[in-house]
Structure 1
């Protein structure tokens, strides 16, 4: 039996959304224990020209829930609004994406296959099919932003390891 688009996308999206939630919780706890303010953690960047930790967490939601909304509309443009600036607001953003992913059905996702999809950013655009957008653009992006959020916490000294990034793997029952 071939792998469905739902099976190829949704479980991985949920895994990284779970990782993002875990990173928020871990960052908050570490901040309290180490007298590091919420604002300092949320605003940390790897390099000055990179976007801050809160933006990385926001993008995990944007490239899961936001990408599905884009496929439904036939066009996706990044949300350029400022990211949430509190742990609680970030949790709420991620929770909304989890709810959206859990609400997707296999039938709905299979019906997306072959639909035209356009990514637009400023004066650039790329045309995709829905499945190619989700699997070759959206999915690498949610992994990238989740890994960057993880790396920022490592850089700050937060004791997170590989399993904190991996999250809930789908082991054989």
Structure 2
């Protein structure tokens, strides 16, 4: 059985956002139980030059929506990066999931072997769709998902590996 471009992308993205949402809910419960202001978590970062939790959620969202749109050859939705609360971060996740669920499987699979061109820091980058997904989109997505998890773990939220991996 062959793995399609769609199977390697959209379901993986969706799973990652369901897991991220659950991790945020676990962080909310921990904050409430320990009288921690949720803004502490939203603004927390692992290093001074890294994005805070809010930026990690935004980065994950951008990786998935831009990746899905480029793979499908469609225009991605535009989301302002203005989230400052857990409610807004959850809404960003929901909007991302809503978009991902609209991306047509046949449209992505039809682009297998096709090309994606993007500009990164003023430089044009050209990819074949499969390496674009495997070497650029997925590592970028997982970087932001992992960093969001790590920020919350570093803040004392009792998270484990299965929280990151989610339910099977």
Asked if Structure 1 and Structure 2 have the same fold, meaning a TM-score greater than 0.5 normalized by the shorter chain, the answer is yes
Aligned length: 167
Check if 1:123 corresponds to 2:151.
no
Q: Quote the residue 1:66 is aligned against.
A: 66
Task: Let me know the Cα RMSD of the aligned residues.
Answer: 2.2
Deviations 1:111-159 (A, max 9, x none): 1223321232232232112232122111111111111111111100000
Deviations 1:68-105 (A, max 9, x none): 223455899xx895441111111111112212222233
The TM-score with structure 2 as length reference comes to 0.88
Range that drifts further, 114-123 or 136-145: 114-123
Larger helix proportion of the pair:
1
Name the SS for the 1:119 alignment partner.
strand
- What are the ranges of 5 or more consecutive residues in structure 2 without an aligned counterpart? none
Q: Quote the residue 1:43 is aligned against.
A: 43
Name the SS for the 1:7 alignment partner.
coil
- What are the ranges of 5 or more consecutive residues in structure 1 without an aligned counterpart? none
Range that drifts further, 13-22 or 111-120: 111-120
Q: Quote the residue 1:152 is aligned against.
A: 151
Q: Write the distance in 1 (CA, Å) between the matches of 2:45 and 2:164.
A: 18
